[in-house]
Amino acid sequence: MERNDAPILEVQDLKVAFQTDTGLLKAVDGLDFKLRPGEVLGIVGESGSGKSVSMLSITGLIKKEGRETGGKALFLGRDLLKLNADGLAKILGKEIGFVFQNPMSSLNPTLRIGPQIAEGMLLHGKAKRSEVKDMVVELLNKVGIREPAMRYRAYPHELSGGMRQRVMIAMALSCGPKLLIADEPTTALDVTVEKQILELMMQMKDDLGLSIIMITHNLPVALNYCDRVLVLYAGRMMEKGSAYQLVSKAGHPYTKALFSSNMELGRKGIRIEPIKGNIPPLTQLPEGCRFHPRCPAAKDKCRSEAPVLLQATDDSHFVSCHFPN
């Protein structure tokens, strides 16, 4: 663990809100984290938790119009939120690679996959025209695509879902990025393929010295593959800690509820006690702690006063709850 290296990405008090017909929608409210070199950070949350919006906002993939953003997102010291479109275009795809949930809709269906990967490499000056094909074939081989020279000429629809996601990973890695942002990279895949893709990502991290941010709703996936995990709910951080800290001493009732309502194997005959109620719409957030209407341990203070993220069991474990345990 290279704990003392300067962070690749440092996000400070990130706030994202949107103007809507029904009022100001606070999608992300106070996100804070540091991502160190070689680290895998998991961002876990349910729909509307702000996990995707936060990453799409700092990289400018959600348009600025109608979006109000506060805080800082320092990528190797440069604040991504202060860069204009040209400045971001020089970083995105080159120093920051992306893998999205649905590879079919992220790939251009009318282009063969080889030239599609080559496009970014040529654009960012990572390859000469004469050598780019060989480099792409090499890359396809690296992400585990068999007969890469032949597959170079395949269209996305000719590949299976898992193969397409391998192509997405090849594309994300094609310019030698320092940071890979993977937004639900395996949610659309079958379990047997999911495992292969996650293991490929981990292997690429070790081989290329990447840092990874993995956005997922799947708690077991995050805990198995990430060093540190942020738990988000309705736009706020509920808990932040290492996978070990979350498993051994989760402090937030929401984190605990996620553990107990997870439908993993081996739960037969033991009735699961689900979290009651529903996720609030982001335009009608409750006063106080955002989780209090669904929290089994909510007290008066939780209804009136929003808790802040405080150090819990040790200096790398934080919980945002008035009554953690």
* Residue placing its CB nearer to other proteins in the complex, 248 or 304: 248
* Residue 75 to residue 311: CA distance in whole angstroms: 25
Characterise 71 by phi-psi region: left (phi > 0), alpha (psi -120 to 50), beta (else).
left
3 belongs to the binding site for other proteins (CB under 8 A): no
Helix (H) / strand (E) containing 207: helix 191-208
244 belongs to the binding site for other proteins (CB under 8 A): yes
110 belongs to the binding site for other proteins (CB under 8 A): no
219 belongs to the binding site for other proteins (CB under 8 A): yes
* Residue 132 to residue 138: CA distance in whole angstroms: 10
258 belongs to the binding site for other proteins (CB under 8 A): yes
Which of 102, 141, 218, 313 lies at the binding interface for other proteins (CB under 8 A)? 218
Q: How far is CA 282 from CA 95, 277, 295, 306, 314, in A?
A: 32, 15, 18, 16, 32
Angle separating helix axes 161-173 and 113-123, nearest 10 degrees: 20
Which of 35, 194, 240, 312 lies at the binding interface for other proteins (CB under 8 A)? 194
* Residue placing its CB nearer to other proteins in the complex, 98 or 233: 233
Question: Residue 292 Cβ, how far from other proteins at the closest point, in Å?
Answer: 15
Residues 6+ apart with CB under 8 A from 91: 75, 78, 80, 83
* Stretch in the footprint of other proteins (CB under 8 A) among 82-90, 131-139, 259-267, 308-316: 259-267
278 belongs to the binding site for other proteins (CB under 8 A): yes
Which of 129, 191, 206, 284 lies at the binding interface for other proteins (CB under 8 A)? 191
> At 114, which amino acid appears?
G
Mask for 148-187, x = binds other proteins (CB under 8 A): -------------x--------------------------
C-alpha triplet 109, 115, 121: angle, nearest 5°: 120
Question: Residue 70 Cβ, how far from other proteins at the closest point, in Å?
Answer: 27
190 belongs to the binding site for other proteins (CB under 8 A): yes
* Residue 169 to residue 179: CA distance in whole angstroms: 12
Chain contacts with other proteins (rule: CB under 8 A): 1, 46-47, 161, 190-192, 194-195, 198, 217-221, 223-224, 242-244, 247-248, 257-259, 261-268, 271-276, 278-279, 281, 294
